[in-house]
Structure 1
Amino acid sequence: MSGKAPLGNYRTLTRKSGLPLWADVMVRVGFVLGLVGMAIAVHWFDREGLKDNYDGHISFLDIVYFTMISITTTGYGDIVPVTETARMFDALVVTPIRVFVVLIFLGTAYNFVLQKSWNRWRMKILQRNLTGHIVVIGFGVSGSEAVKELIGRGQNPRQIVVIDSGDDNLENAEKLGCNVLNADATRDQTLVSVRVRQAKSVIVSAGRDDTSILIVLTVRHLAPNVPISVVVRASDNELLARQAGANNVINPVNFAGFLLAGTCHGEHISEYMSDLATVKGRVMLRERVVSKDEIGKPLRGRENAVGLRVYRGEKAYGFWEPEAGSLQAGDTIVEIIPNVDTL
């Protein structure tokens, strides 16, 4: 897949608007009623400046009628301002109110008639140019926690696309500022719609191992080079997930077992492991490519960082191995660093 597909070929992403629909309507209605109420009040207190050519008497209903007619039209001439004060109020206040009301009506028509089409077109444009984003498939417990952790680590939620078939899950994802798509992620067209080939990485947490593995196969078919992380719950399926093309396979059941076993050999081991895993901890794991000034230096002994492992080509070397004694260009290192946000 190369180039840009036509806009019509995409299933459209959505993103939460800044204000709920009902709140937007109430704000507009309240503003119009406030303007009309102000005009009615001034006309009532200055009713001596008005003349009724019909019966010569100005009642409160006449004031309401005259105000509404003045705001919505230019008037019929049956009730007219006769004093300078009344005329100046109509000229300098009622006329601008008429303009504001018309603009509010036009704005409302735009929001509820035109804006939906405009937003769909705008999201299609953004979608067509989407690149370097993270696709999260499944927004259940694991998927939602992953997104929250990503945002906590500084990931822009506008660069996260969530695919799920549950309206409640998608609503929660929208509240975080993510782009969402209600679709079946096992279908090629769904993944093409979120430009999976241009994604930075893909996280799969579909809730069922068979579904997750099928999604991994589909993603790998469409995006041969995109890193894929998947959650599986049965140990027997870990190998299948890797064979399907997953780069990282996470088994939360096994991980919980590791933490529980660790507590039997030291009360602080599981605490430190949890500290490393979350952005809220005092320390955090970081993976990065070595810089130029680090070439030739050992993995250990650097200030404010504890080097753990070097990835060189297809092999990994621990800090105690001779290969970690001299870093090379292109090496990837995993290290522990202090979390400055929590110190």
Structure 2
Amino acid sequence: MKLAGHDAMARQADERTATYRVKLPRRVVERPLLQVARRVVMALAVLVLTALLVWVDRGGYNDNSDGSVDLLDAFYYATVTLSTTGYGDITPVSDGARLTNIFVITPLRVLFLIILVGTTLEVLTERTREEWRLNRWRSTLRDHVVVVGFGTKGRSAVETVRTTGLKPEQIVVVDPSAKVIDAANALGYAGVLGDATRSDVLLRAEVQKARKIIIATQRDDTAVLVTLTARQLNRGAKIVACVREEENAPLLRQSGADAVITSASAAGRLLGLSVLSPHAGMVMEDLIQQGSGLDLVERPVIKAEVGLKPKETDDLVVSVVRGHRVLGYDDSAVGVLQLTDRLITIVRVTPTRRVAPDAKPLPQD
């Protein structure tokens, strides 16, 4: 039993230290069988063209067996010539036939060989193209969002962030599961396969250039380690992390997280609210689902609102963010709105009204 446990621990260690890689979204490519069929057709077309050229100029060729070249001999000569076998039993004897071999059949032979080794060439070309795409992606990626963990919480967080107009190219998913990374690629997101607690994996995700980092791992201890590593690599990014147990939230804040969402407690509070008031629970559920119905967003104060009280604005203001303080809409310290304030408002999203690009959806559980 001890030996089996040791082997299991060793396998887990190997998985953690497995080679990581970056996977970018791909365009839909032709299926392998169709690619092979297409190459076979091209090879046959080159063979037929060569045979026809030989047969048309059959008077310029000599067959050692009977001295004449018919259609079958033309195909035979084309086959052994294009495959570079060259038995020498059929040879070009006229100047025209020899010139045709030099300027036409020789290029066709090269083309035929390229088609035969097309798979190898395609692999090499694909590797070169993928390396070029990866280098270009790294050089152009700035102010993006890194999502560590792409389970239910991670996907929901990305969907919420996307409501502000963020493009898929600005999202990078980090996860140790190859299937999860493939799912992220299918949605148009770049993916980094590896353990996010390692700094080299986060560097592959260009976390040092990221503007926001979302940590939605399955384990709280993993979230702490990822937060510590990410904060060490990027001092200015906004880090939002999710934990299961509320007692671990202070540890995450000490590790460098700007905001911590406790999923178990938040879900429990929503359950309790739904029991006490099902309608209030429905409203809260609507608020945390961005992009439809009522949305809870943070936006800057516009010039027309400067000098007004929160109740006098067109939107339903819940809180006012002034500096590093969050004040209630009825807090006497608010007074009137200032240009540097930000408002947390409840807005109704309709086909004619979307969340403004500079508005921020509030972090949800």
TM-score (norm 2): 0.72
Kindly state the Cα deviation for residue 312 of structure 1 after the two structures are TM-superposed.
0.4
Runs of 5+ consecutive residues of structure 2 not aligned to the other structure: 1-19, 93-104, 354-365
CA 120–41 in structure 1, closer or farther in 2 if over 3 Å, else same: closer
> What per-residue deviation string (whole Å, max 9, x for no partner) do you get for residues 253-308 of structure 1?
222212211222322222222222223422222212223332222323433x3221
Percent of aligned pairs with the same residue? 28
- 1:15 is aligned to 24
Give, as a single letter, the amino acid of the residue that structure 2 aligns with 1:19: V
Q: Which amino acid aligns with 2:268?
A: G
Q: CA deviation at 1:204?
A: 0.7
d(CA) in 1 for partners of 2:321, 2:340: 9
Matched, 1:32 2:42: no
Give the SS at the match of 1:17: coil
Task: Say which SS state the counterpart of residue 284 (structure 1) adopts.
Answer: strand
- 1:283 matched to which residue of 2? 294
Candidates 182, 187, 191, aligned match of 1:176: 187
Aligned equivalent of 1:310: 320
Aligned residue pairs: how many?
Answer: 326
Counterpart position of 1:270: 281
Deviation at 1:238, TM superposition (A): 1.5
Aligned to 1:3: none
Question: For 1:186-335, what aligned pairs fall within 5 Å after superposition?
Answer: 186-303=197-314, 305-335=315-345
The one-letter amino acid paired with 1:332 is R
Q: Aligned to 2:184, what secondary structure does the other structure show?
A: helix
8 Å Cα contact 2:240-2:258 kept in structure 1: yes
Residue 174 of structure 2 is aligned to residue 144 of structure 1: no
Change (3 A) 1:294 1:280: closer
Change (3 A) 1:310 1:106: farther
Q: Distance in 1 between matches of 2:24 and 2:77?
A: 44
Task: Report the CA distance between 1:212 and its aligned residue.
Answer: 0.4
| Separation (CA, whole Å) in 1 of partners of 2:40 and 2:57 | 22
TM-score by length of structure 1 reads: 0.76
**Residues 278 and 69 (structure 1 numbering): CA distance in 2 closer, same or farther, change over 3 Å?**
farther
One-letter amino acid matched to 1:219: A
User: Matched residues in 2 for 1:95 and 1:150: separation?
Assistant: 59
Distance 1:263 1:166 in 2: 35
Deviates more, 1:262-271 or 1:222-231: 262-271
Change (3 A) 1:41 1:206: same
Give per-residue Cα distances to partners, 1:98-137, cap 9 Å, x unaligned.
8976776787545301431442244134324421011111
User: Distance between the aligned counterparts of 2:289 and 2:229, measured in 1?
Assistant: 30
Distance (whole Å) between structure 2 residues aligned to residue 105 and residue 286 of structure 1? 59
Inter-CA distance 123–243: structure 2 relative to 1 (3 Å threshold):
same
> Structure 1's 107 and 330: CA in aligned 2 closer, same or farther, altered over 3 A?
farther
| Most deviating of 147-156 and 324-333 | 147-156
Query: What whole-Å deviation, never above 9, does each CA across 1:211-270 have from its counterpart, x for those lacking one?
Result: 101211222222222111111001111122122221121122222212211222322222
Contact 1:39–1:67 (CA<8 Å) still a contact in 2?
A: no
Paired amino acid for 2:33: M
Distance in 1 of aligned mates of 2:285 and 2:118: 50
Correspondences of 1:151-166 after superposition (within 5 Å) = 151=162, 153-166=164-177
Alignment-derived partner of residue 130 in structure 2: 119
1:3-82 matched pairs, under 5 angstroms: 13-19=22-28, 23=30, 25-36=32-43, 54=63, 65=76, 78=90
**Residue in 2 that maps onto 1:337:** 347
RMSD: 4.1
- After alignment, is 94-103 or 167-176 more displaced? 94-103
The residue number in structure 2 matching 1:87 is none
Alignment CA distance shift 1:59-1:190 (3 Å): same
Q: How far apart, CA to CA, are the structure 1 residues paired with 2:246 and 2:49?
A: 77
Mapped contact 1:284–1:338 kept (Cα < 8 A): yes
